[in-house]
Amino acid sequence: MGKKILIVTGSPRHHGNTNTLADGVAQGATDRGGKVKIVDAARLQSKTNGCTSCMGCQESEDFRCIIRDEVSEILATIPDYDVLVLATPVYFFNFSAQIKIFIDRMYSLYKFKEDKIITPTEKLHFAMIATAAGDYGSGLDSLEHTFNKIAGLSGRKPLTLLVPLCSVDVNETMADTELKEQAIRFGAQLAE
Ligand SMILES: Cc1cc2nc3c(=O)[nH]c(=O)nc-3n(C[C@H](O)[C@H](O)[C@H](O)COP(=O)(O)O)c2cc1C
């Protein structure tokens, strides 16, 4: 059976570089038999301005964020997936705020005990798509460092598609056939 892949995008630019590449990754994965869902975190309805640190998720028996809105609905489905792809533009050397809000609420998928972490996502394979205007040292490096910490919560080696030196003009990104093929190959790799 094909891998189930959830791609969460976090760019406010609906047809920008990140979403364009995410579409290519989805195409590559689908072509290999993967079942892909794309969720735009920048447009999810959220009752609060991010995690409120209520600790409800740590005190409950289940792994649900107790704020009930579109974000928590998607969060609750993450354990059903084989692969979680975080797709973000680099904003000030890290994730965009739009996707960070989503990531912070992933806290609900982990119970941080004194000596161990309990999660229904231990088999989840993490991947990341990131685009940046600058070179690797202009923020993709610090973003990758943060992402590796998150991915370290599962036991599997993460995969990344890091794209430096992206033009702000998405037409240039779309015209880059090598980049599009890279995205398709990355998607195929995720589905394997
Ligand atoms: C608020 C903001 C902050 C940014 N910060 C960085 C940065 O720290 N490093 C970098 O290389 N590019 C930075 N960029 C450029 C974006 O990462 C780049 O244009 C990206 O491809 C945009 O993706 P999108 O088209 O999906 O929105 C920034 C852009 C914006 C709007």
Give the Å distances, CA to CA, from 88 to 23, 130, 170.
Answer: 13, 5, 15
Tokens 């680099």: give the residue: 90
Quick check: helix, strand or coil at residue 165?
A: coil
CATH of the domain at 82: 3.40.50.360
pLDDT along the chain (192 residues), means of 10: 95 97 98 98 96 97 97 98 98 98 98 93 95 98 98 92 96 94 98 96
Q: Could you tell me the sign of the dihedral formed by the alpha carbons of 59, 64, 65, 67, in that order?
A: negative
Q: What pTM, to 2 d.p., does this model score? A: 0.97
7, 14, 21, 91: which to mutate for ligand 1, most atoms within 8 A of CB? Answer: 91
Dist. CA 13 → ligand 1 center (Å) = 11
- Ligand 1 close to Cβ of residue 132 (< 6 A): yes
Beta pairing, strands 111-112 & 117-118:
antiparallel
| pLDDT recorded at residue 41 | 98
Ligand 1 atom having least distance to the Cα of 12 = 27
Dist. CA 140 → ligand 1 center (Å) = 10
CA 158/CA 152 separation, integer angstroms: 8
Instruction: Evaluate whether 21 touches 183 at the Cβ level (below 8 Å).
Output: yes
What is the domain extent for residue 156?
4-191
Ligand 1 atom having least distance to the Cα of 132 = 17
- Ligand 1 close to Cβ of residue 121 (< 6 A): no
Cα atoms found within 13 Å of the Cα of residue 165, Cβ hemisphere only: 4
Give the Å distances, CA to CA, from 96 to 29, 31, 109, 170, 189.
Answer: 24, 29, 21, 18, 25
- Ligand 1 close to Cβ of residue 10 (< 6 A): no
| pLDDT recorded at residue 81 | 98
**Domain count within the chain:** 1
Quick check: helix, strand or coil at residue 186?
A: helix
Closest protein CA for atom 3 of ligand 1: 91
| pLDDT recorded at residue 122 | 87
Instruction: Evaluate whether 186 touches 26 at the Cβ level (below 8 Å).
Output: no
